[in-house]
Amino acid sequence: LFQVYIDLHPDFFSVGLEKADARFLALCFILGVTSWSSLCRLIRAETLKISQLGYVQAAHAFGVSHQRILVRHILPNVTHIILITFVLDFSALVLAEAVLSYIGVGIDPSMGSWGNMINSARSELSREPAVWWTLTGAFFFMFMLVLAANLFADLVRDAFDPRTSDG
């Protein structure tokens, strides 16, 4: 729909890069709108579970405000879930961008992206001799980005998860 809007209103975009930026922002918006529900479901379930624990019930009984309970008891216990979900969603969003750009409905071909690099490298495979290193390089670096993000999330989870802290 965004591409149709861009095509029907060429006077809004005086330069080709503005069209590319509009497609990029539209893709970010669409992926953001469609990927928030799983995080909300996880956070709601964990919050409901934590709210039934004894120390949270005791805080309610002593008259501690809801905001203070959220900040002191609920938020520290769901932070690791938020971080892990963001990183796992990051990995899924990198893959979604690559697939959508590869098939031509993602980021504008004039912009650099994993899907555009893989798509241009695919055409290099049909040459004689075959140029395979561009495709291999794009896959390798995309894999390294996702692996680094997942390893970082594991370290952050270990640092922030209150159930794994020593003490």
CA gap 23, 29 in Å, rounded? 10
The pTM assigned to this predicted structure is: 0.66
Residue 105, pLDDT score: 79
- Rounded to an integer, what distance in angstroms lies between the CA atom of residue 155 and that of residue 83? 10
Q: What is the mean pLDDT of each run of 10 residues along the chain (167 residues)?
A: 74 74 82 87 93 91 92 88 82 85 79 82 80 86 88 79 60
- The whole-number pLDDT of residue 167 equals 45
Q: How many CB atoms lie within 10 A of CB 156?
A: 16
Residue 63: the pLDDT is 92
pLDDT for res 146: 86
pLDDT at position 166: 55
d(CA 43, CA 51): 12
C-beta separation of 59 from 113 below 8 A: no
What letter would DSSP give residue 106?
S
